C-alpha cells in the first residue's frame, strides 16, 4: 500500500509504504530529478549545478499513480516523475542512529573461526566465469581478503589478478615489487624476518587500498602468512574499553618511511579511522613504520599508549588469526584499510619469493557492482 501527502506548503512530502513513513524535502527531490534537462540521458551525469535550482523551491502539486509519483516544482513550474521504488531505496528518513565504529551491512567481521571457510577461488574460474569472479569479489567486500589458487607460476602473474578488477597503483616501490631476501634491504619486508601483522604503507595518504601478494617460490622453511580482521580488532577494543577505542579514533598517529635515500613519506592519520558519522572505514597499524606521536594531548598520552598496546595484543591474539601457506601459483589479496597481514620468519635452504603490488578498492567495488547488476538483469 502506497500513499503520499504534501506538507508545510510543499516544503516536503511524506511517502507511506506498508505503514512506514518517509519524508523527502522539495530541494532534495528537485536535486534528484531524472529528466533530460537535469541529467544526461547518455551517461547519467548531472547537467546542472545546485545554483540552477531556485533556493525557494517547493512542491506545488503531487499526483500518485501506481508506483509513479508526479511532482510539480515551483517556482520553476517543472513537472517530474519519480519511481517510488527508487525513493524507497534512497530513503533518508528516519536516519539511522549508530554507535561510532559501525560497519556497513555488506561487511562481516571475523576472527580465527573463519579458518574453516577461508574465502578462496580458482584462478582460471575467476578469469573465465563472471559468476565466479562476482562471488570472489563479493567475498573480498565481505571479509576484506580472499585467496586465489592454481594460478600460473610465472613472472608478473599478479598483474593478471589486478586485471580482473582494476588497475595497479604505482608507488616508489614500483608497479610491482619483489618480496624476497635481499642484500642491503630498503625495507624489512625484503628480509627473512617475521613481520607482525600490519597494514601496508600507513605512511602514505591516501594508503593503497588493495595489496596483492603472489607466490612464485616457497621452498624455504617457514614464511607462512596470516591475516587478521582489523575491523574485528576495533570492535573488540570498543567492547572492552570504549575510551581506548575513542582515543585511537580521535587522535592522529604518525607514520614514516625513509628507507631509501630518495624517499621520505610521512603521514598523520588515526589508527582507527572513522567517517564523520562514525562508520569504521579503516585501520592503520604498522610497528615498523611508526614515528613519534605528537598529536595526542599530554593528559591523554598514557591512555593512548594503553590503547595502542591493547590494540597490538588483540592483533597478536592467536584466536584472531587466519593462517595459510602460499604455494607457487597462489596469492592472496587484502583490503589494506581493513585486513592486516603478517608472515612468519623464514630461513635455511630453499627460497621464498613473492611478487606484490598495490591496487585500489574503488575499481574493485565498481567491477562487483557491474557484475551484480548484470546478474540482476539476467535474472529478470
246 forms part of the interface with ligand NM2 (CB under 6 A): no
**In angstroms, what is the minimal distance from the CB of 101 to ligand NM2?**
24
φ/ψ (deg, to 5) at 44: 75, 0
- For Zn ion, give the closer residue by CB, 133 or 334: 334
Rounded Cα distance, 166 and 159, in Å: 10
- For Zn ion, give the closer residue by CB, 112 or 194: 194
**In angstroms, what is the minimal distance from the CB of 343 to ligand OGA?**
3
Site for Zn ion in 18-57 (CB under 5 A): none
Is-contact 167 286, C-beta < 8 A? no
Instruction: Please count the CA atoms within 13 angstroms of the CA of 369 that sit on its side-chain side.
Output: 7
Edge-to-edge, what's the strand order for the sheet holding 12-17?
A: 2-7, 12-17, 20-25
200 forms part of the interface with Zn ion (CB under 5 A): yes
- The region that residue 156 occupies, defined by phi over 0 for left and psi between -120 and 50 for alpha, beta otherwise, is left
**In angstroms, what is the minimal distance from the CB of 280 to ligand OGA?**
22
Site for ligand OGA in 222-251 (CB under 6 A): 225
Host H or E run for residue 310: helix 298-316
Closest listed residue to residue 339, CA positions, set 248, 257, 232:
232
Q: Which residue has the cell 587478521?
A: 228
- Tell me what percent of the chain is helix, strand and coil, each rounded to the nearest 5: 30, 30, 40
140 forms part of the interface with ligand OGA (CB under 6 A): no
Residue 173 interacts with, from ligand OGA, ligand NM2, Zn ion, none (CB under 5-8 Å by kind) = ligand NM2
Rounded Cα distance, 193 and 32, in Å: 55
**In angstroms, what is the minimal distance from the CB of 256 to ligand NM2?**
10
Site for ligand NM2 in 146-185 (CB under 6 A): 173, 177, 179
133 forms part of the interface with ligand OGA (CB under 6 A): no
- For ligand NM2, give the closer residue by CB, 87 or 340: 340
334 forms part of the interface with ligand OGA (CB under 6 A): no
273 forms part of the interface with Zn ion (CB under 5 A): no
- For ligand NM2, give the closer residue by CB, 57 or 289: 289
Q: How many residues lie near Zn ion (CB under 5 A)?
A: 1
Exposure of 319 by Cβ count < 10 A (0-12 exposed, 13-18 middle, 19+ buried)? Answer: exposed
**In angstroms, what is the minimal distance from the CB of 173 to ligand NM2?**
4
200 forms part of the interface with ligand OGA (CB under 6 A): yes
- For Zn ion, give the closer residue by CB, 278 or 312: 312
Segment interacting with Zn ion, rule: CB under 5 A, options 65-73, 123-131, 194-202, 271-279:
194-202
Which residues have C-beta within 8 Å of that of residue 271, sequence separation ≥ 6? 248, 249, 253, 283, 284, 285, 308, 311
Count other C-beta atoms under 10 Å from residue 124's C-beta. 13
Q: Which residue is nearest to ligand OGA (CB)?
A: 343
109 forms part of the interface with ligand NM2 (CB under 6 A): no
Q: What is the CA radius of gyration of the chain?
A: 25
Q: Which residues would be at the binding site for ligand OGA (CB under 6 A)?
A: 179, 189, 195, 200, 213, 225, 341, 343, 354, 356
Amino acid at each position: 500500500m502506497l500513499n503520499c501527502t504534501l506538507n508545510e506548503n510543499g516544503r516536503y512530502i511524506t511517502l507511506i509504504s506498508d505503514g512506514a513513513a518517509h519524508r523527502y524535502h522539495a530541494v532534495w527531490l528537485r536535486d534528484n530529478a531524472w529528466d533530460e534537462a537535469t541529467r544526461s540521458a547518455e551517461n547519467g551525469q548531472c547537467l546542472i549545478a545546485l545554483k540552477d535550482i531556485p533556493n525557494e523551491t517547493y512542491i506545488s502539486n503531487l499526483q500518485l499513480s501506481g508506483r509513479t509519483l508526479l511532482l510539480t516544482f515551483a517556482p520553476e513550474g517543472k513537472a517530474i516523475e519519480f519511481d517510488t521504488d527508487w525513493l524507497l531505496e534512497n530513503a533518508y528518513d528516519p536516519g539511522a542512529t549508530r554507535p561510532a565504529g559501525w560497519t556497513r551491512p555488506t561487511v562481516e567481521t571475523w576472527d580465527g573461526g573463519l579458518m574453516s571457510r577461508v574465502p578462496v577461488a580458482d584462478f582460471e574460474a575467476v578469469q573465465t566465469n563472471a559468476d565466479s569472479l562476482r562471488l570472489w569479489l563479493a567475498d573480498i567486500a565481505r571479509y576484506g581478503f580472499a585467496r586465489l589458487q592454481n594460478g600460473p607460476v610465472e613472472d608478473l602473474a599478479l598483474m593478471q589478478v589486478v586485471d580482473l578488477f582494476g588497475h595497479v597503483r604505482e608507488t616508489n616501490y614500483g608497479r610491482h615489487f619483489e618480496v624476497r631476501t635481499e642484500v642491503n634491504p630498503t625495507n624489512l619486508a625484503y628480509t627473512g624476518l617475521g613481520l607482525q601483522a600490519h597494514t601496508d604503507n600507513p605512511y602514505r595518504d591516501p594508503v593503497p587500498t588493495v595489496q596483492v601478494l603472489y607466490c612464485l617460490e616457497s621452498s624455504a622453511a617457514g614464511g607462512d602468512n596470516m591475516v587478521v580482521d582489523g575491523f574485528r580488532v576495533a570492535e573488540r577494543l570498543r567492547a572492552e574499553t570504549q575510551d581506548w577505542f575513542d582515543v585511537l579514533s580521535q587522535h592522529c598517529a604518525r607514520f614514516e618511511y625513509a628507507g631509501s635515500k630518495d624517499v621520505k613519506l610521512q603521514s598523520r592519520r588515526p589508527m582507527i579511522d572513522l567517517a564523520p558519522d562514525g562508520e569504521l572505514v579503516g585501520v592503520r597499524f604498522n610497528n615498523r613504520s611508526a614515528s613519534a606521536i605528537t598529536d595526542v594531548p599530554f593528559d591523554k598520552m598514557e591512555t593512548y599508549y594503553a590503547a595502542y598496546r591493547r590494540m597490538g595484543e588483540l592483533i597478536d591474539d592467536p584466536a584472531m588469526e587466519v593462517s595459510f601457506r602460499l604455494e607457487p601459483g597462489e596469492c592472496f589479496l587484502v583490503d589494506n584499510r581493513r585486513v592486516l597481514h603478517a608472515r612468519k620468519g623464514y630461513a635455511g635452504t630453499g627460497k621464498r619469493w613473492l611478487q606484490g603490488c598495490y591496487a585500489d578498492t574503488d575499481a574493485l567495488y565498481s567491477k562487483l557492482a557491474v557484475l551484480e547488476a548484470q546478474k540482476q538483469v539476467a535474472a529478470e
